[in-house]
Amino acid sequence: MTNILHVTASIRSDESVSRKLGNRLVERLRDRTGANVTLRDLANNDLPLIDTDRFAANLTPVAERGEQARQLAAIGDDLIAELHAADTLVLSLPVYNFTMPSTLKAWADLVARAGTTFRYTESGPQGLLTGKKAYALIASGGTPIGSEIDFLTPWLRHFLKFIGITDLEIIAADGISGVDGEEKIAAALNAVDALEPRAVAA
């Protein structure tokens, strides 16, 4: 049995195009592999921002944490456990103001933990979440994905590589606020259907 972690971030709930694309892919993966699916909806989880105390708690070994540190580190522990358990990561992401939703950045700050999801070596940082497959389903109203004003996808590729996830496929419905928006959404859905999706064998 394989495990899929589906991370969503749109504030638009059922109207979200990125959710629609991600749900379509997750359904195909689940039908094909019988995978378990964990949903992490960042828009509804009120993730905390990293501050000095939470940063220190995250880096404190579990056996050495006091009660306050355990409470502060708990959400990061949960998010990292979801990533460790997942063979396949599906990210449903809107573009807000040329880049990621702030909730995705909060998630990234909580899961990027030295010694747990990456480590420092003499040759530089080394990601520890290797062997996973990632898909990003992205929707934007006006930002062309891959253009010089797209600050989401370069960051996303770099961040996932930083924590060890190098196998990433991106499907985007961009410019959907234009007159041909419905056609672009349909094309992105067709691109999802044309994938040969796989959930990495456990």
Q: What is the pLDDT of residue 44?
A: 87
pTM, entire model:
0.93
C-alpha span between 141 and 118 (Å, rounded): 34
At 199, the pLDDT band (50, 70, 90 cuts) reads very low
The answer to whether the annotation marks 123 as part of a ligand binding site is no
How far is CA 66 from each of CA 49, 69, 71, 119, rounded to the nearest angstrom? Answer: 20, 5, 9, 24
List of residues 6+ apart from 147 with CB closer than 8 A? none
Fold classification of 3-194 (topology level): Rossmann fold (3.40.50)
pLDDT at 158 over 50: yes
The answer to whether the annotation marks 37 as part of a ligand binding site is no
The answer to whether the annotation marks 92 as part of a ligand binding site is no
The answer to whether the annotation marks 17 as part of a ligand binding site is yes
Q: Average pLDDT of the chain?
A: 93
Q: What is the pLDDT of residues 64-123, one digit of tens each?
A: 999 999 999 999 999 999 999 999 999 999 999 999 999 999 999 999 999 999 999 999
CA angle 111–15–42, rounded 5-degree value: 15
Q: What is the pLDDT of residues 129-138, one digit of tens each?
A: 999 999 999 9
